[in-house]
Structure 1
Amino acid sequence: FRRLIGLTLLSFLAVTGARKSRSSGPSICAEVECFEFDEVCNSTDFEVRHYNTSMWVSTESRAYIMEMAAFEGLHRLYSYIQGENAYGVIIDMTAPVLVKVPRYKGFLEAATYTFSLLLPAEYQQSAPEPTNPNVFLSELPEMHVYVKPFSGWILTMTSKPYAKSLARDLNDIGASFNNAFYYNAAYNSPMALLNAHSEVWFIANGNPMCPIPS
């Protein structure tokens, strides 16, 4: 079952030609267009990145766990890039797929998860409107992001511990960040059975703090 969920969440990431990111991002970014960033600093604990304003296509899905929400949310985004948009155009795949995950909810409490896909450079200024009313264009503002990379697929049982670890690292150095949610970032296709690259992100409040050298 967990393997099926992983395939659903990452089946978006079929490789289609593109450009490399400005910095040393995942190897998948040599094959698909990735969300470009400038590296501010890094350590073995976490990285600090700067991202410019960017446009995404997004959808929300409410469920008890992220994996249940993924079936509906990712299907909507896939349909959008396959032509369910005002131009009727096929849009190239990009990376990563972002999943906004609320941090605080009860075990038996449903939550709203937001799934987002970066629009390619050619559509950053003028993107086709979705034809599905549950899909919308969204803007991420310029931001600094605390990032903890890890190997493996994005699943609740794998990403949540990394989010807790990253929050602990940030609290240890007194960093200010939005603690209400985190992002899961999935880069690889399900064909990447080994060495899949995934990340958890927290958004910095104000100027970011770099990790203390060990």
Structure 2
Amino acid sequence: MFKVIGQTLFSSGLQHPAFTTPEETNVNKATDYEIRTYAPTKWVSTTLTGTSLDEAMATGFRRLFKYIQGNNVNKVQVEMTAPVTGHVDPGAGPTCESHFTVSFFIPVKHQANPPEPSDPDVFVEHRKEFTVYVRTYGGFSNENLKKEELLKLVESLKRDGVEFVDKPYYVAGYDSPFKLLNRRNECSTPSSAGVEAAWPETGADPSKQPRQPTPLSASVQSAWMSDDMSKETEVSDTCSPSQDTAKPLRPSALC
């Protein structure tokens, strides 16, 4: 347990998923983003719905941390890894709920036979090989910064005439809150050819399919209500039962 907690607090000696880059063959000339192809891997994941990416990442992290501490069928402690990823499927508008999948990479030791989660909201995710465009940035990240960096990535891809899919997309963090310097964060979007593989899946066994996304608590969502906005945001009928009763929400990551 102390090893897991120590790795989480200090982000030291953490395993990362393997990937290859075109730079190894001098194909990609861009300097502000990277092209990566990830090998097929297994991750432990949980899904949530809501309007706040930061709150979804925090709630998902707590669920998954319990899993690696032994909240699984075999009561096995699993080493912490990096990064913690967030797969984001944005809602149709600023007041619409987005779907989030928060994930930990399963260490190589457990890749062949990951411990089965005990929490019904946690599942083992099988990721196929897929290719993404990745932008890396430092500092302490938050929802607004993630949005800004993602938009910079999109502009770079448009500049280079690259075919990509703007959603779903990924965010990733490699460091604990206690690390002050040389922090590493990422945002990424799938290549057009790799979008299908970028969606979370759990394999053919129906009993291991992802659960319905868990809504964030009402208190979390109400915290994003803004009563001092000068104009009300238009509300789609598909997101709210009534435009008269809907209150404007702060935008989610891509809204």
Same fold by TM-score greater than 0.5: yes
Which structure has the larger Rg?
Answer: 2
Secondary structure of the 2:22 match is: strand
2:81 alignment partner in structure 1 = 94
State yes or no: 1:14 paired with 2:1: no
Structure 2: any 5+ residue segments left out of the alignment? Answer: 1-5, 195-255
State yes or no: 1:204 paired with 2:191: yes
2:168 alignment partner in structure 1 = 181
Aligned CA-pair RMSD: 2.0
- CA-to-aligned-CA distance 1:72-127 (integer Å, 9 cap, x gap): 21111011101111110110000000001234542222212110000000111110
Over the matched positions of the two proteins, sequence identity in percent amounts to: 32
Is the 8 Å Cα contact of residues 73 and 115 (structure 1) preserved in structure 2?
yes
TM-score where L is the length of structure 2: 0.67
- CA-to-aligned-CA distance 1:112-159 (integer Å, 9 cap, x gap): 211000000011111011011110000111011111000023321111
Secondary structure of the 1:139 match is: strand
1:76 alignment partner in structure 2 = 63
Superposition deviation, residue 32 in structure 1: 1.0
Secondary structure of the 2:113 match is: coil
1:3 alignment partner in structure 2 = none
- CA-to-aligned-CA distance 1:33-92 (integer Å, 9 cap, x gap): 111222213532211112100100000111211122233211110111011111101100
State yes or no: 1:106 paired with 2:93: yes
Whichever residue aligns with residue 125 of structure 1, its letter is: A
Secondary structure of the 2:75 match is: coil
CA distance in 1, matches of 2:40, 2:22: 17
TM-score where L is the length of structure 1: 0.79
Whichever residue aligns with residue 69 of structure 1, its letter is: A
Structure 1: any 5+ residue segments left out of the alignment? Answer: 1-10, 17-27, 208-214
Whichever residue aligns with residue 110 of structure 1, its letter is: E
Distance change in 2, residues 1:158/1:113 (3 Å): same
